Amino acid sequence: MKQPEFGNRVSSLISRNGLSDDVKAGAAYFGVPVNTFRKWLDHSREPNASAVRVLDLLEYLEAFVPSSHHYLLSEVVK
């Protein structure tokens, strides 16, 4: 996946879920270090295959299993 597409999808997902102002929460949501998360957002780091799959899964949960997604978000925002 091209980096700008990945970064844009990440930005969109965190924005929709109210995490756009908190880089630490966004990184925790994806289970990655803050530095990696920042680099994804500014398009300076290519995601690996695992990161792309995590994004796919989070988008799937958000769309089709909102109760599980809500629980995941509540664990991150604590």
Residue 73 token pair: 């978000």
Question: What residue has token string 């089709």?
Answer: 64
**How much is the average pLDDT of 33-44?**
92
Cβ-proximal residues to 24 (8 Å cutoff; 6+ apart), any chain: 34
> What is the domain extent for residue 15?
3-77
Confidence of residue 1 (pLDDT cuts 50, 70, 90): low
Stated pTM of the model: 0.86
**How much is the average pLDDT of 42-57?**
92
- Rounded Cα distance between 9 and 5, Å, is 6
**How much is the average pLDDT of 39-68?**
92
Percent of the chain with pLDDT over 70: 95
How many domains is the chain partitioned into structurally? 1
Cβ-proximal residues to 25 (8 Å cutoff; 6+ apart), any chain: 19, 76, 77
Confidence of residue 38 (pLDDT cuts 50, 70, 90): very high
